[in-house]
Structure 1
Amino acid sequence: MVESQTISLPSIESAIALAGKQEANLKTLSAQTGATVVLRGSDLYISGTENQVRRCQRLVRSLQNYWQNGQSISSVDIVAACQAMDTERQEDLEQMQQEILLTTRRGDRIRPRTFRQRRYIQSMQTHDLTFCIGPAGTGKTYLAALLAIKSMLAGDFERLILTRPAIEAGEHLGFLPGDLQQKIDPYLRPLYDALYEGIDPEKVESLMERGIIEVAPLAYMRGRTLNNAFVILDEAQNTTPAQMKMFLTRLGFHSRMVVTGDKTQTDLPGKQMSGLDMAIDILESVEGIAFCYLSPSDVVRHPLVQKIVNAYEKSEQS
């Protein structure tokens, strides 16, 4: 027997937020519940079996913290809400929905969108050393950089240091135009992009000139002790074991380190072991170090990215 229910949303802005671009969220709601979901004006029409309609209603209500204020909703938010319903974690979901990590310079509110992302943020806030391993698009570097910016601006740390191995450059640096900084900048560009989300580019340049923010290749970390700093090592799967040990032993007093990487995207030559893999094997049981693992379900980029990651994982397992 087909049933139908109508949810009247408070405004057109709420309806737009719930529906998403090209009504993509309505398709996700339908896929997650089996119900037929149609939006007309600010009225949401739900039809299907009794269980399908009830589940869809609960799902829409669980997203109310977003759509009632006109905040954007993604398919990741909907899937997370489904997981919360299925595991009876509604209270955790409500808390996560209200946790704002940072408001970007464009006014976007950055928050954890999945329970694993939430745990990652909490780990960075409570541990001096956090490893985060996961596929592209899961927010590993982005969330770490924004938390670092927030912590630095709050006065918790004096410096922000972002680094990554320039393994992709290899021996070709000598053939590129410009001085050393100009040669390595293309390999550090993703770190700059994350910084510009939280701070105006002009202010970033000023902070870099004063040494408060440093974006540098991993080789620059050798021989240093990093005190009173928030340090992020990106693309850690491209470190050698020796480089990883060198980096980890730079940890100084009143400092915090975050190491991010994707084990499936190693650029090391031949069959050389990744420093990230070795660090996980050696340190995973060490008390005081947090290890967070993100999965394709945590991808928060374009929906196609999640499908691409899933397809590659399936191919590699076959």
Structure 2
Amino acid sequence: MTPVAPAEAVLEFPDNRLLIDLCGEYDRNLTDIEARTGVQILRRGNQLALHGPAEAQDEAAEVLRALYDRLEQGRDVGKSEIDRQFRMADEAEDLSQMEMFGGGTVEIKTRKKLVEPRTDAQKAYVRSLFANELAFGIGPAGTGKTYLAVAVGVNMLVTGQVDKIILSRPAVEAGEKLGYLPGDMKEKVDPYMQPLYDALNDFLPGKQLARLMEEKTVEIAPLAFMRGRTLSNAFVVLDEAQNATSMQMKMFLTRLGEGSRMVITGDRTQVDLPRGVPSGLADAERLLAAITGISFNYFTAKDVVRHPLVAAIIEAYEADHPAG
């Protein structure tokens, strides 16, 4: 008996301009979805016809509808958004799960762009940054821990909720001694701070950022420069906190002043401290987890928003060296 081929599924999209964006340049988005699902997608006017197994058709249709909804909201669609939609489908996230995470649209308005957390863990993290005076973001590289924290800081600055932004990192030496590097102290430590400059440049116009830094409304400084200060009415971020010693972490946390918010971000798998020196981030997790008003937010490879290969790389390393 000849098997019956599955019927095609036809999706109709009312706005032809958005449909062009959905398909992508040279239909690259459709090609990506075809490769992931095994369906064939044919465009007919303002319709997309899906050919393939029924289950694969359903998966492709769900992704296409979600991406089109995103375009209707004025957001971009590209390879990373497609990857995110498939990861969400793999995790079988439904509406009740979204509610559990406090689902719905979460947006951060900055001077240059509207920032949208992409995963549920990121949404929960952003909510915690607005809700808590002290928040931790812990997880692998590429999950948006620092980027989203800086975005929230810029939002709070431009809306008058804080008077300044202070961004800090431990200047941990990796192969080169600071004293051997050329230039004055600022020139020596700037390479360690560059990711923080990059994030700020994404959210503030260049001239405004330069003026704010000149006025010390926005500061970027090594962790060692925080000693002796009380940070009031400020949004304070400590990045790469896994490279702070226990004493440095205690010093930094006790800088918190009236009207301030503090965010600590780090990756427990990338400690660059000398052998035998415990990480201050691990100590903070152990000592502060039960304190009301301090939130701990965790990310996994599923929250990576860089190139899809980054998530695969992180998962491979985690499988070889399980946390514990």
Give the TM-score normalised by the residue count of structure 2: 0.87
| Equivalent residue letter for 2:272 | D
The answer on 1:311 being equivalent to 2:311 is no
The answer for the alignment partner of 2:106 in structure 1 is 99
Where do 5+ consecutive residues of structure 1 fail to align?
none
Q: Is 1:20–1:72's contact at 8 Å kept on the other side of the alignment?
A: no
The answer for the alignment partner of 1:227 in structure 2 is 232
- Which one of the candidate residues 158, 179, 185 is aligned to 1:180? 185
| Equivalent residue letter for 1:118 | K
| Equivalent residue letter for 1:127 | N
- Which one of the candidate residues 241, 248, 252 is aligned to 1:236? 241
Q: Tell me the distance in 2 between the aligned counterparts of 1:18 and 1:65.
A: 10
Q: Tell me the distance in 2 between the aligned counterparts of 1:21 and 1:118.
A: 30
The answer for the alignment partner of 2:198 in structure 1 is 193
Q: Percent of aligned positions with the same letter in both sequences?
A: 42
Task: Report the CA distance between 1:272 and its aligned residue.
Answer: 1.5
The answer for the alignment partner of 1:288 in structure 2 is 293
Q: Pairwise mapping of residues 254-269 of structure 1 onto structure 2 (< 5 A)? A: 254-269=259-274
Task: Report the CA distance between 1:42 and its aligned residue.
Answer: 4.7
Listed one character per residue, the Cα deviations across residues 291-316 of structure 1 (whole Å, up to 9, x for unaligned) are 00011111111122112212222222
The answer for the alignment partner of 2:75 in structure 1 is 71
Q: Is 1:238–1:267's contact at 8 Å kept on the other side of the alignment?
A: yes
Listed one character per residue, the Cα deviations across residues 63-106 of structure 1 (whole Å, up to 9, x for unaligned) are 4421335632313431365268543448659x85643212562x
Q: Tell me the distance in 2 between the aligned counterparts of 1:304 and 1:83.
A: 17
Q: Greater CA deviation, 307-316 or 282-291?
A: 307-316
Task: Report the CA distance between 1:180 and its aligned residue.
Answer: 0.8
Give the TM-score normalised by the residue count of structure 1: 0.88
C-alpha distance 25-96 of structure 1, shift in aligned 2 (>3 A): farther
The answer for the alignment partner of 1:9 in structure 2 is 13
Listed one character per residue, the Cα deviations across residues 167-221 of structure 1 (whole Å, up to 9, x for unaligned) are 1268712122221111111110100000000101221111111111110000111
The answer on 1:275 being equivalent to 2:246 is no
The answer on 1:18 being equivalent to 2:25 is no
- Which one of the candidate residues 34, 42, 47 is aligned to 1:43? 47
Q: Is 2:229–2:255's contact at 8 Å kept on the other side of the alignment?
A: yes
Task: Report the CA distance between 1:235 and its aligned residue.
Answer: 0.2
3-state SS of paired residue (1:273)? coil
Q: Tell me the distance in 1 between the aligned counterparts of 2:168 and 2:178.
A: 17
3-state SS of paired residue (2:256)? coil
Listed one character per residue, the Cα deviations across residues 22-47 of structure 1 (whole Å, up to 9, x for unaligned) are 75654664577x45142536532222
Where do 5+ consecutive residues of structure 2 fail to align?
none
Q: Pairwise mapping of residues 196-215 of structure 1 onto structure 2 (< 5 A)? A: 196-215=201-220
Task: Report the CA distance between 1:249 and its aligned residue.
Answer: 0.5
Q: Greater CA deviation, 111-120 or 23-32?
A: 23-32
Q: Tell me the distance in 1 between the aligned counterparts of 2:16 and 2:28.
A: 16
